[in-house]
Amino acid sequence: MPRRIASLGYETLLAAAIVLAGGFLAAPLVTPAGNVPGNALALPGPTGRWVGFALVYALLGAYFVRCWSGGRRTLPMKTWRMRLVRDDDSGEVGFRRALARYLAAGIGPALAAAAYAWAPSAWVGAIAAVGWVWALADPKRAFLHDRMAGTRLVADQRPAA
């Protein structure tokens, strides 16, 4: 479990970099045009925010699904010597299963966003961790998104290249 938590922290740093780069690339597409009075910051409207979110979410999805499918691994998975396998040990994780894992990983953050929209509170952010906290109660110590996608993280016993 400590290796998975350390890998998750490292993965969070890489995902944050992807989000920042994606947001920077999406900014010209969603920033409102026109004159802004004084030194006011021009913020995108609701449509622009949704478009920006969708672009960044798709970019993160492309990164993770590509790295998880076909026997590939993310940099933190390589660093911490872990790999993603099918739960039934029937081969490598394919595109569909990796996509299912990515979409299932968003359940906790989506629930937290919905709870915050319904009743803003600092405590609803804890809901975002439901997918990772799930591993504490799961008999196989699987994260919720791994359980739903039929995958699991295992220690890579192969010698380092």
**76-134: pLDDT as tens digits:** 999 999 999 999 888 889 999 999 999 999 988 888 888 888 887 777 778 888 887 88
Q: Which residue range forms the structural domain that includes residue 24?
A: 2-155
CA distance 153 to 161: 20
Overall domain count for the chain: 1
- Roughly what angle, to the nearest 10 degrees, separates helices 2-30 and 46-68? 140
Q: What is the pLDDT of residues 14-36, one digit of tens each?
A: 999 999 999 888 888 887 776 66
Of the candidates 113, 95, 104, 99, the one whose C-alpha atom is nearest the C-alpha of residue 132 is: 104
Residue 81 resides in a domain: yes
pLDDT of residue 13 exceeding 80, the answer is yes
pLDDT exceeds 80 at position 51: yes
* Beta carbons of 28 and 16 less than 8 angstroms apart: no
In a domain? residue 150: yes
* 160 in any annotated domain: no
**Residue 161 covered by a domain:** no
Say what the pTM is: 0.83
What contacts 29, CB < 8 A, 6 or more positions away?
48, 51, 52, 55
